[in-house]
């Protein structure tokens, strides 16, 4: 597959070890029972180690494939017939990386000392309480951990956890490190780069240290570096919706993180107004998701947490009601995995499978998926969502990590059973329709009134249409074929 001919069909999001067992096993699924459903796959971290403190988002070596999953040749083989997206973990590496362990031992005498960020790099003269309180962080407390580097006590930047040590991306060592990661990924045929946690990458004194003008400049440079290697960039930012629109104008792709909570709000309340408004103003270069390896974001539809006074797509009380409704629909399971109830990296996401967030209701769930597939953009479907997975309370109990509720390890038998079931088989039919029907390369229009939404795609004399009844939680998908025959899938309770 040529990197110069990007595909716009559905993509799968998956951990290789939790779905196929390894990279080769995941490839077998994509070329076997999932054939024709996905143009691409977002391979969640497969680096050394894939099973660290944050499920691979704390790489010890970001340039190596964990040998338990395969090799770079396996990645290249998968890229032969699927567009492969991989994470570039911009902000940090594992505290167990050989690079940082050398700094722990030798301090400033280490050749890698310039790679890691300490407080004095950002505040070389002085820092006060106001400066520290201004810093935006997705969890309580300061993004700093006392550590002894070469016998000297230092304050090291650790935006997420003490196990994830921040990189000084402005340093020569930091820039060389990021270039080496880009080379490793694109050298194996990865032509979609997801910039993980990039909004926190640049720390500037006197600012929130999140999505500042300096951050935008950094994203511009990183995007250009990826594009020089034939890759496109997806920026991962959870923030106010206006910030998503702003960043979308500067990069190849952004996530539509507002869509999941708005779809839930619509199906919970039968009020389509907020979703309609978003569909009218959202960026066109979006990757649509309902679920990912993280939780269901609510900050993306609420009032701005950084610039007070900017209203959200939903008022604060509606966001609070949404969160409570997810807890109710999941039978309280999501409450055990969210906020202060578990070891969460953040408190602005609700940890729950999307299927359980809709109470395990087949009609509402498939209607939500149909909405995702009909909204303009590149749809990505998370592996647990593809298989209509329920909350994994056993895994949550074993690890105490809230997001593990939606990161189930599937056995081959579980995969086969889900693929044969009515929900996943219908979803695969919808995915193949979205991938292959020519109407999705044409013009999009939005219609309907009240609780009813009509999403239509047309190209020449062919069309595809979704009619959603948000009050009933049911929908109908209709489309024409090359012979102008009409086809229909009823997503109801029949």
Identify which of 201, 221, 378 has the alpha carbon closest to the alpha carbon of residue 286: 378
DSSP string covering 288-307, please? E-S--SS-EESTTTS--SSS
Position of tokens 């196990």?
163
CB 238 within 8 A of CB 299: yes
Rounded CA separation 281/313 (Å): 11
* Cis status of the peptide bond prior to 205, with omega within 30 of 0: no
Rounded CA separation 75/337 (Å): 33
Between helix 273-281 and helix 259-269 the angle, nearest 10°, is 150
Phi/psi of residue 16, nearest 5 degrees: -60, -40
A 10 A CB-CB count for 483 gives 5
Rounded CA separation 136/276 (Å): 30
| Residue tagged active-site, from 66, 236, 329, 392 | 236
Position of tokens 């792709």?
253
Rounded CA separation 356/365 (Å): 9
Rounded CA separation 264/248 (Å): 24
Phi/psi of residue 313, nearest 5 degrees: -70, -25
Annotation marks residue 236 as catalytic = yes
DSSP string covering 430-449, please? HHHHHHH-GGGGSEEEEE--
| Residue tagged active-site, from 17, 66, 196, 329 | 196
Rounded CA separation 391/405 (Å): 5
Rounded CA separation 52/47 (Å): 10
Position of tokens 């407390």?
141
E strand or H helix at 126: none
Integer angstrom CA distances of residue 124 from 118, 152, 278: 10, 17, 43
CB 218 within 8 A of CB 252: no
Percent helix, strand, coil in the chain (nearest 5)?
A: 40, 20, 40
Rounded CA separation 381/288 (Å): 9
E strand or H helix at 462: strand 462-469
Rounded CA separation 362/353 (Å): 14
Active-site residue list: 196, 236
């Amino acid at each position: 597959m040529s990197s110069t001919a990007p595909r716009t069909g559905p993509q799968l999001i998956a951990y290789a070890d939790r779905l196929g067992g390894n990279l080769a096993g995941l490839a077998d699924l994509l070329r076997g029972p999932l054939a024709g459903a996905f143009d691409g796959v977002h391979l969640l971290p497969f680096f050394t180690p894939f099973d660290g403190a944050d499920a691979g988002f704390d790489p010890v070596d970001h340039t190596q494939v964990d040998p338990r999953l395969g090799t770079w040749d396996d990645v290249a083989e998968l890229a032969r017939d699927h567009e492969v997206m991989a994470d570039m973990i911009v902000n940090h590496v594992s505290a167990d990386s050989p690079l940082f362990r050398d700094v722990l031992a030798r301090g400033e005498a280490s050749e890698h000392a310039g790679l890691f960020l300490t407080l004095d790099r950002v505040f070389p003269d002085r820092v006060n309480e106001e400066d520290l309180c201004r810093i935006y962080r997705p969890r309580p407390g300061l993004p700093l951990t006392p550590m002894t580097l070469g016998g000297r006590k230092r304050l090291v930047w650790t935006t997420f956890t003490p196990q994830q040590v921040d990189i000084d991306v402005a340093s020569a060592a930091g820039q060389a490190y990021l270039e080496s990661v880009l080379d490793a990924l694109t050298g194996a045929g990865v032509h979609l780069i997801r910039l993980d946690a990039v909004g926190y990458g640049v720390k500037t004194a006197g600012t929130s240290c999140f999505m500042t003008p300096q951050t935008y400049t950094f994203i511009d440079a990183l995007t250009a570096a990826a594009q020089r290697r034939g890759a496109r960039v997806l920026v991962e930012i959870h923030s106010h919706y206006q910030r998503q629109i702003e960043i979308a104008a500067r990069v190849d792709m952004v996530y539509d993180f507002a869509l999941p909570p708005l779809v839930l709000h619509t199906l919970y309340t039968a009020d389509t107004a907020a979703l309609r408004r978003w569909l009218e103003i959202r960026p066109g270069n979006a990757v649509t998701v309902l679920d990912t390896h993280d939780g269901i974001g609510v900050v993306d539809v609420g009032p701005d947490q950084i610039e007070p006074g900017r209203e959200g797509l939903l008022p604060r009380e509606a966001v609070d009601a949404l969160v409570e409704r997810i807890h109710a629909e999941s039978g309280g399971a999501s409450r055990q995995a969210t906020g202060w109830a578990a070891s969460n990296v953040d408190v602005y996401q609700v940890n729950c499978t999307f299927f359980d967030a809709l109470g395990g209701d087949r009609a509402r769930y498939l209607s939500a998926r149909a909405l995702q597939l009909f909204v303009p953009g590149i749809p990505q479907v998370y592996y647990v969502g593809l298989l209509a997975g329920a909350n994994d309370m056993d895994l949550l109990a074993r690890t105490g990590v809230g997001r593990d509720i939606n990161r189930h390890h599937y056995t081959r038998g579980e995969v086969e059973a889900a693929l044969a079931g009515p929900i996943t088989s219908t979803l695969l039919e919808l995915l193949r329709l979205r991938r292959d029907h020519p109407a999705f390369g044409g013009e999009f229009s939005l219609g309907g009134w009240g609780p009813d939404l009509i999403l239509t795609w047309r190209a020449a004399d062919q069309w595809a249409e979704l009619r959603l009844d948000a009050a009933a939680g049911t929908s109908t998908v209709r489309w024409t074929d090359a012979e102008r025959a009409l086809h229909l899938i009823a997503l109801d309770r029949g």
